């Protein structure tokens, strides 16, 4: 079976944030991710990771926009300075939290100019942090309307253009189903590019069990393909988190 991580932004929300680390460890997770770990004391989070012996798998860039609006700027024409400023801030947090991966969000945009901007910014980021693993993730436009990186062919084209060893694909099976309706086919075509995997059930984005995605078959496929990265549960529990964790066992 794969190595499972808990997304603490989504899971254990019945608990105060700092208590979620210990809860994840007690539930059987060996790794955690936090989408936007910018509002809590960074050293306190690092202390929880150490005390609980948890791997910090992933965090997102950019920091959240306090005034709302775009989630990401990396592909938005005219906002490269904003993206690079935010990336520098993310790296400062990463120095303490030591994430395996930083997910760079493209933001809302479209067209060839946006793709060129995205490629340019990713080349810059990969060179700016050559020892840090970076990921990009296709996100479906039902959940995030207007998001630039919304299909796997574009992601493959961008990754090939950037051609940086520290940049790879983040494969979310829920988004893959929304985008293509064929998780296994999407993995067959693009899984060799993946460095991190996320899962959630469909429909409903609840626990990854039952529903339209055959997760036992998907997990077996990851094993047979030799995938050695983490698989993170990024979903909204139907009840309390602990009651729905049979999928990791």
Judge whether 32 and 5 are in contact, CB under 8 Å: yes
30 is a catalytic site residue:
no
Would you kindly state where each structural domain of the chain is located, as residue ranges? Answer: 3-248
Distance CA 216, CA 222 (A): 10
pTM value is: 0.96
The radius of gyration computed from the CA coordinates of the chain, to the nearest angstrom, equals 17
Residue 14 annotated to the active site: no
In order along its 249 residues, the chain shows pLDDT tens digits of 889 999 999 999 999 999 999 999 999 999 999 999 998 999 999 999 999 999 999 999 988 764 456 789 999 999 999 999 999 999 999 999 999 999 999 999 999 999 999 999 999 999 999 999 999 999 999 999 999 999 999 999 999 999 999 999 999 999 999 999 999 999 999 999 999 999 999 999 999 998 999 999 999 999 999 999 999 999 999 999 999 999 998
Find the catalytic residue in 33, 115, 137, 207.
Answer: 137
How many angstroms separate the Cα of 230 from the Cα of each of 60, 132, 156, 189, 217?
16, 16, 21, 19, 17
Catalytic, out of 33, 115, 207, 234: 234
Whether 234 contacts 202, CB under 8 Å: no
What lies within 8 Å, CB to CB, of 67 at 6+ separation is: none
Give the CATH class of 3-248.
Answer: alpha beta
């Amino acid at each position: 079976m794969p190595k499972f991580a808990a997304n603490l932004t989504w899971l254990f929300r019945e608990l105060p944030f700092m208590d979620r680390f210990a809860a994840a460890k007690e539930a059987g997770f060996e790794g955690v991710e936090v989408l936007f770990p910018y509002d809590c004391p960074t050293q306190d989070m690092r202390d929880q990771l150490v005390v609980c012996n948890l791997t910090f798998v992933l965090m997102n860039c950019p920091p959240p926009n306090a005034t709302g609006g775009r989630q990401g700027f990396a592909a938005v024409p005219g906002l490269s300075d904003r993206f690079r400023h935010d990336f520098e801030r993310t790296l400062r947090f990463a120095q303490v939290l030591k994430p395996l991966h930083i997910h760079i969000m493209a933001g809302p945009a479209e067209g060839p100019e946006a793709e060129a901007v995205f490629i340019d910014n990713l080349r810059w980021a990969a060179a700016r942090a050559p020892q840090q693993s970076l990921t990009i993730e296709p996100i479906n436009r039902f959940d995030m309307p207007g998001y630039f990186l919304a299909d796997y062919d574009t992601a493959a084209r961008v990754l090939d253009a950037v051609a940086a060893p520290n940049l790879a694909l983040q494969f979310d099976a829920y988004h893959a189903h929304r985008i293509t309706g064929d998780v296994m086919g999407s993995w067959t075509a693009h899984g060799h590019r993946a460095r991190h995997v996320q899962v959630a059930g469909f429909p409903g984005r609840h626990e990854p069990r039952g529903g339209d995605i055959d997760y036992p078959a998907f997990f077996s496929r990851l094993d047979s393909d030799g995938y050695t990265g983490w698989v993170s549960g990024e979903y909204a529990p139907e009840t309390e988190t602990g009651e729905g964790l049979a999928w990791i066992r």
